[in-house]
Amino acid sequence: MYTETGSQWNVAELEGAAHRHLISPAEELAKLGTSGGRPLFTSADGIHVRDSHGRTLIDGPGGMWCTQVGYGSKPIADAIAAQALRICYNSPWYSISGPAAELARRISSFAPGDLNHVFFTTGGSSAVDSALRFVQFYNNVLGRPTKKKIICRIDGYHGSSHLTAACSGRAGNRPNFDLELDTVSFISAPNIYRHPQGKSEAAFLEFLVAEFEERIAALKPENVGAFLAEPILASGGVIIPPKGYHRRILETCRKHDILYISDEVVTGFGRCGHWFASEEVFDIVPDIITFAKGVTSGYVPLGGFVLSESVLAKISGENAKGSFYTNGYTYSGHPVSCAAALANIGVIEDQDLLAHVREITPYFQEQLAKLRELPLVGDVRGVGLLGCVECATDPTSEAATDFDRQVALRIDRQCYENGLVVRPIGSMCVLSPALIITRPQIDEMVSILRESIVRVQAEIR
Ligand code: PLP
């Protein structure tokens, strides 16, 4: 059975326990208790995971876009242990967490513009949820009780809380749940590969901006509180918007006094070669940035949002009008999580990982792009160490077909056999490896992916 060191595993018993008692976040209920197929990872090191059959694999998706510095980092593990022994918890209501205060200072120092006030949560969903609740609070304090609607995009993903799930426009996440649809309004995904207009990138941009303007007009600006967007739609399939998109949308937000929330849960903490992608990659300073995942490299849960000084100033100090902000997470600014994040930032700095990502990105993207020549591959795209290979047996189709989705699943299984974990999302294989990845490791990863696609191609033709 499971032991303290994890060195002995009764794999069959653990798999049985998982099937009988563990509900995963993505569960086909008809097969609950009987289906196998999910691997049991027993240990990990660097960019590799090891499964219960003793097989070592490259972790292509980096956990779930989160293992920035890689597995097995001693400085982070030591920081977690030291903080747990020093003081494992203190109430954020009655006391200050030292690591939280220091982490807020660090994040403020590298967040863009005047974003310098940090609220900590327990992960990405709670980060976005808290940012959206802040928008409601903000407009109530300002005496604008109707300015609450949130505009977001089809194929965006922002989490699994009640409100963030409603803001997530991926069809697969929605069936059988009730959603806050009165609050949320969806506009098109800025998907250049599968957009229906048959237009140039520049014309598509004009279409998207006009659609946003029209939606604001239809809802009326006095009813729209926020625009919520990932800089790159990650779970939606690494969708990179047309050049200038975020800037134009931000200008429209400014015109109508709508807060711009940039959801950097995936793109933050080095994924695109910078602490945050909003300013450095997409040339915008939003009002709020949400973060999670890479802030601790996945060692312990943590999330949060950074808020601009100018927005906060409108409802604080002399403008506070007696308002009292509560968003009462027991684990807000948890000392162990914040200590892990500080150690993680230390590792990123010591190993100069932001520069490493900027240096290695062109190589990663070039190697991946070569897969475009394979017949099953419709599109290859990416930014930084985010990449996506989209299967499209009929590239003229505006939507992925069931067949393409099956193809991606088969590629995923074949990759696993060949020593690579990928993450099939619909018809796409998505990669976001740890930031420490080297050129030879990129070669190995892409070559396994290529061999697997070729193998599946041979099987289905
Ligand atoms: N926002 C984005 C952009 C995400 O990709 C995710 C998760 O994948 C979330 C929010 C939710 O984060 P969490 O799963 O930590 O709650």
Q: What was the pLDDT predicted at 36?
A: 59
Question: Ligand 1: which atom is nearest the Cα of residue 123?
Answer: 15
pLDDT of residue 3: 52
What digits encode the pLDDT tens for the residues 239-272? 999 999 999 999 999 999 999 999 999 999 999 9
What local confidence, expressed as pLDDT, does residue 26 receive?
A: 84
Say whether pLDDT at 397 is over 80. no
- The residue with tokens 């990932």 is 230
What local confidence, expressed as pLDDT, does residue 27 receive?
83
Q: For residue 289, what pLDDT is reported?
A: 98
Ligand 1 centroid to residue 330 C-alpha, Å: 20
| pLDDT above 90 (res 118) | yes
198 CA to centre of ligand 1 in angstroms: 31
Query: Range with the lowest mean pLDDT among 28-42, 110-124, 305-319, 436-450?
Result: 28-42
Is any atom of ligand 1 closer than 6 Å to the C-beta of 235? yes
Q: With bands split at pLDDT 50, 70 and 90, how would you rate the model's confidence at 4?
A: very low
Cα(153) to centroid of ligand 1, in Å? 15
Rounded to the nearest whole angstrom, what is the distance from the C-alpha of residue 410 to the centroid of ligand 1? 26
pLDDT class of 424 with cuts at 50, 70, 90: confident
Q: pLDDT grade, residue 48 (50/70/90)? A: very high
Is 170 close to ligand 1, i.e. is its CB under 6 Å away?
Answer: no
Contact 339, 80 (CB under 8 A): yes
Distance CA(132)–CA(147), nearest Å, equals 12
- Does position 37 have pLDDT exceeding 80, yes or no? no
- Residue range 166-202, pLDDT digits in tens: 999 888 777 788 888 899 999 999 999 887 666 799 9
Average pLDDT of the residues in 425-448: 96
Tell the residue nearest (CA) to atom 1 of ligand 1. Answer: 158
Q: Which of 128, 261, 269 to mutate to test the pocket of ligand 1 (most atoms within 8 A of CB)?
A: 128
pLDDT value at 151 more than 70: yes
Do the strands 288-291 and 428-431 form a parallel or antiparallel pair, or are they unpaired?
unpaired
pLDDT attached to residue 160: 94
Q: Which of 120, 265, 290, 305 to mutate to test the pocket of ligand 1 (most atoms within 8 A of CB)?
A: 265
Residue 35 has pLDDT above 60, yes or no: no
Which of 293, 297, 302, 388, when mutated, tests ligand 1's pocket best, judged by the most ligand atoms within 8 Å of its CB?
293
For residue 6, is pLDDT > 70?
Answer: no
Q: Where are the beta strands (DSSP E) in 281-330?
A: 288-291, 303-308
Amino acid at 138: Y
Q: What pLDDT was estimated at residue 198?
A: 67
Beta carbon of 73 within 6 Å of any ligand 1 atom: no
Strand, helix or coil at 264?
Answer: coil
Q: Give residue 155's pLDDT band: very low, low, confident or very high (50, 70, 90).
A: very high
Q: Which residues pair with 120 in a beta bridge?
A: 304
Ligand 1 pocket test, pick from 67, 162, 238, 266 with the greatest ligand atom count within 8 Å of Cβ, gives 266
- Position 419 scores a pLDDT of 98
* CB distance 263 to ligand 1 below 6 Å: yes
> Does the model's pTM come out above 0.80?
yes
**What pLDDT, on a 0 to 100 scale, did the predictor assign at position 174?**
77
Q: Sheet harboring 386-391: ordered strands across?
A: 377-383, 386-391, 428-431, 423-425
The pLDDT score that the predictor gives to residue 19 is 83
pLDDT score at 402 = 85
Looking at residue 34, its pLDDT comes to 66
Separation CA 191–CA 374 (nearest Å): 22
* Helix and strand numbers, DSSP H then E, in the chain: 14, 15
For atom 14 of ligand 1, which residue has the closest CA? Answer: 124
Rounded to an integer, what is the distance from CA 331 to the centroid of its chain? 21
Alpha carbon of 441 to ligand 1 centroid (Å): 27
- The answer, yes or no, to whether residue 8 has pLDDT greater than 50, is yes
Lowest mean pLDDT among 119-133, 191-205, 378-392: 191-205
pLDDT of residue 12: 84
Q: What is the pLDDT of residue 450?
A: 97
Q: What is the mean pLDDT of the chain?
A: 93
What is the sign of the dihedral through the CA atoms of 413, 417, 418 and 422? positive
13-21 mean pLDDT = 86
Which run of H or E residues covers position 182?
Answer: none
pLDDT at 7: 56
Ligand 1 binding pocket includes 423 (Cβ within 6 Å): no
